[in-house]
Amino acid sequence: MSADRGGDDMSADHDDDGVSGTNGSDGAENPPIRRLADWDPDRLHGIAAEHGTPTYVIDLDRVAENCERLRAAFPAADCRYAVKAHTGRAVLKTVRECGLDAECASAGEVDRALAAGFGSDRIHYTAVNPPARDLEYIVDLAAHEPGITITAGAVDTLDRLVERGYDGRLCLRVNPGVGAGHHEKVRTGAAAKFGVPYDRAAKTARAAAERFDLVGIHAHAGSGIDPDQLDAHREFVSRMGDLARTLTAPETEQDTPGTEREGDHADPDPIDLEYVDVGGGFGVPYRETEPALDIDAVASATRDALGTVPTADGTGTVQLAVEPGRYLVADAGVLLTRVNTVKPTPEETVVGVDAGMTDLLRPAMYDAYHPIGNLGGGDGSTPEAGKPADREPIPVTVAGPICETGDSFCTDRPIAEPVRGDLLAIGIAGAYGYEMATQYNSRPRPPEVALSSEHDARLVRRRETHADLTVVEDDVDETDSPIDRIGGER
């Protein structure tokens, strides 16, 4: 286990030189979390001035640092990126260059991973109640690219693959019956929706091995493993280790976990598993007061809990695989938004901004906390590098422009007193941020600017236009736009 880092003694009040986080290659300067205060406010002001608001910023060097830290903690494991956290091309390329595989949750994600240059042998498609269209896409692809692996978690899915003639690489998703996670909507380990039940897993795996090239078993216990939940994590990983040993063992052991007792299946062939994938869900400290996850501690707990799993021929060991999403991208992103309304009310001060739940859904959907910093500028001054707006904090609700009560980013949060025109930065927004953005209320989605030492600041997704809102409708063409008819601009 690598122990060359300083631990999680992070101070939110980071006095830097204003160019923090742009040298991803230096492993010694790779803190476990980048806080909102670590971003250079001048640079963020410059981006907002050039591209308007709301705008996402993603730092590719930070993504690379997160990948490197993960790989250093799990040196012998297969490290995969659950791309659904952020599928932007620039992020996918960065992760690919860092040597991680792509874990995809839909045919669309597989398509984007291929387009970003992942070889099919580095793509894992996890099918949860997969639409027929997705299965057909993947099976067609596999006919040309047999290196792809399909992870399936229901006997029906296996049958549907056989019906389509698939007999290639398969990984069985198991429901280990223990879950971790920060919110019930993302706690998947104990939810019956995901994976075959644990007590039927060995039998299902053996049947699957007759029809496919069974290369792995998989479980994902939910998102948000934090330092308090290591016990649940250990328990579920150790169940996966037990199951894997049962499957690779030369003969059936009676009463082993994951094995239904049945007399008619005496000495099944050992299964030649390549890996045991224990999913993602590594937590990220959204609150300034939360310590960062000690990834080395998680890694060693994971290895201990898994134990050694000998390969079927007894000459090697089955690999551990991990596939975090959030951990790799969350702290690499911020959402910039500008204050347009400050409304004191008897109860609270409501600060209206131009970003809403359509841009960043997590607070409305999961009650998620995101740090919010006031970078100032509304009073005509630009703050000094490294300092937020120099005003006393007052408790505020920050709310967006959407006609929904859930459309707020915080309530009763002390923030340097906002004035109209201030730039706010919403932190730790790189995971499930742009990815969950919608066009609800006919709101074009925001642009995204990527930072890197290689390209400095680069617009990697443009802001959508009103025309983008109707582009899929059959009876709308450009000339329908009322604003064109009246000769205005869009």
Mind telling me the catalytic residues? 403
85 binds ligand PLP (CB under 6 A): yes
Give 21 or 325: the residue with its C-beta nearer to ligand PLP.
Answer: 325
Q: Is 281 flagged in the annotation as binding?
A: yes
Give 363 or 418: the residue with its C-beta nearer to ligand PLP.
Answer: 363
176 binds ligand PLP (CB under 6 A): no
Q: Is 324 flagged in the annotation as binding?
A: yes
Q: Is 432 flagged in the annotation as binding?
A: yes
Q: Is 458 flagged in the annotation as binding?
A: no
Q: What is the smallest separation between the CB atom of 70 and ligand PLP, expressed in angstroms?
A: 11
Give 103 or 407: the residue with its C-beta nearer to ligand PLP.
Answer: 103
Out of 95, 100, 105, 237, which residue is the one contacting ligand PLP (CB under 6 A)? 105
120 binds ligand PLP (CB under 6 A): no
82 binds ligand PLP (CB under 6 A): yes
324 binds ligand PLP (CB under 6 A): yes
With contacts defined by CB under 6 A, name the span among 18-26, 33-41, 136-144, 323-331 that binds ligand PLP: 323-331
How many residues bind ligand PLP (CB under 6 A)? The answer is 17
Q: Is 206 flagged in the annotation as binding?
A: no
Map residues 261-290 to x or -, x wherever contact with ligand PLP holds by CB under 6 A. Answer: ------------------xxxx--------
With contacts defined by CB under 6 A, name the span among 317-325, 347-355, 377-385, 447-455 that binds ligand PLP: 317-325
Give 325 or 376: the residue with its C-beta nearer to ligand PLP.
Answer: 325
326 binds ligand PLP (CB under 6 A): yes
Q: Residues near 156 by Cβ (< 8 Å), separated by ≥ 6?
A: none
With contacts defined by CB under 6 A, name the span among 9-17, 319-327, 341-349, 482-490 that binds ligand PLP: 319-327
Give 65 or 354: the residue with its C-beta nearer to ligand PLP.
Answer: 65
Binding residues for pyridoxal 5'-phosphate: 281, 323-326, 432
Binding residues: 281, 323-326, 362, 366, 404, 432
Binding residues for substrate: 326, 362, 366, 404, 432
Binding site for ligand PLP (CB under 6 A): 82, 84-85, 103, 105, 126, 220, 223, 279-282, 323-327
